[in-house]
Amino acid sequence: MSSNKIKFVWENKIFTIKNLDPNETILNYVRLNLKKTGTKEGCAEGGCGACTIVLGEIENNKIIYKAINSCISFLPSLEGKQLILVEDLIADNGSLHVVQDAMIKHHGSQCGFCTPGFVMSLFAMYKNFNSYNKEKIQDSISGNLCRCTGYRPIIDAAKSLNSSSKIDKFYKNRKKNY
Closest CA to 67 of 79, 83, 89: 83
Phi/psi of residue 8, nearest 5 degrees: -150, 170
Nearer to ligand FES, 69 or 170 (CB): 69
Among 20, 30, 51, 125, binds ligand FES (CB under 6 A): 51
How many residues bind ligand FES, per CB under 6 A?
Answer: 23
Q: Give the Cα-Cα-Cα angle 118, 58, 72 (nearest 5 degrees).
A: 45
Min CB(118)–ligand FES separation in Å:
7
| Smaller CB separation from ligand FES, 53 or 170 | 53
Which CB sits closer to ligand FES, 56 or 116? 116
Strands 5-10 and 13-18: antiparallel
The residue within the footprint of ligand FES, chosen from 107, 147, 152, 166 (CB under 6 A), is 147
CA atoms within 13 A on the CB side of 25: 19
* 151 lines the binding site for ligand FES (CB under 6 A): no
> Are the CB atoms for 119 and 90 separated by under 8 Å?
no
> Which secondary-structure segment (H or E) carries 115?
helix 115-128
Q: Strand order in 82-84's β-sheet? A: 13-18, 5-10, 82-84, 52-59, 62-69
Minimum CB distance to ligand FES, residue 152 (Å): 12
Q: Which member of 10, 24, 41, 66 binds ligand FES (CB under 6 A)?
A: 41
Q: In terms of CB distance, is 76 or 143 closer to ligand FES?
A: 143
- In the shown chain, the binding pattern of residues 56 to 95 toward ligand FES, with x for contact by CB under 6 A and - for none, equals -------------x-x------------------------
Distance between alpha carbon 23 and the CA centroid of its chain, in Å?
21
Residue among 11, 15, 47, 178 that touches ligand FES (CB under 6 A): 47
Which residues contact ligand FES (rule: CB under 6 A)? 41-44, 46-51, 69, 71, 109-115, 146-149
